Amino acid sequence: MSRLLLAAFVWIAATLPSLAQSDPNDVIGAQIEAFRADDFGTAFTFAAPGIKQLFGTPENFGRMVRQGYPMVWRPAEVRYGARELRGATVLQRVIITDAEGRLHTLLYQMVPLGESWQIAGVQILREPDVGA
pLDDT tens-digit profile, the chain (132 residues): 555 433 444 444 444 444 444 799 999 999 999 999 999 999 999 999 999 999 999 999 999 999 999 999 999 999 999 999 999 999 999 999 999 999 999 999 999 999 999 999 999 998 765 554
Determine which helix (DSSP H) or strand (DSSP E) holds 79, and give its type and residue range. Answer: strand 75-86
Q: Is the pTM of this model over 0.75?
A: yes
pLDDT (tens digit per residue) in 79-114 = 999 999 999 999 999 999 999 999 999 999 999 999
Q: Three-state SS for 70?
A: helix
Task: State the SS3 of 1-25.
Answer: CHHHHHHHHHHHHHHHHHHHCCCHH
d(CA 36, CA 115): 25
Looking only at the bridges linking them, the beta strands covering 103-113 and 116-125 are: antiparallel
φ, ψ (nearest 5 deg) of residue 85: -100, 125
Number of C-beta neighbours around residue 88 at 10 A: 13
d(CA 112, CA 127): 28
d(CA 107, CA 37): 22
Q: Are 110 and 27 in contact (CB under 8 A)?
A: yes
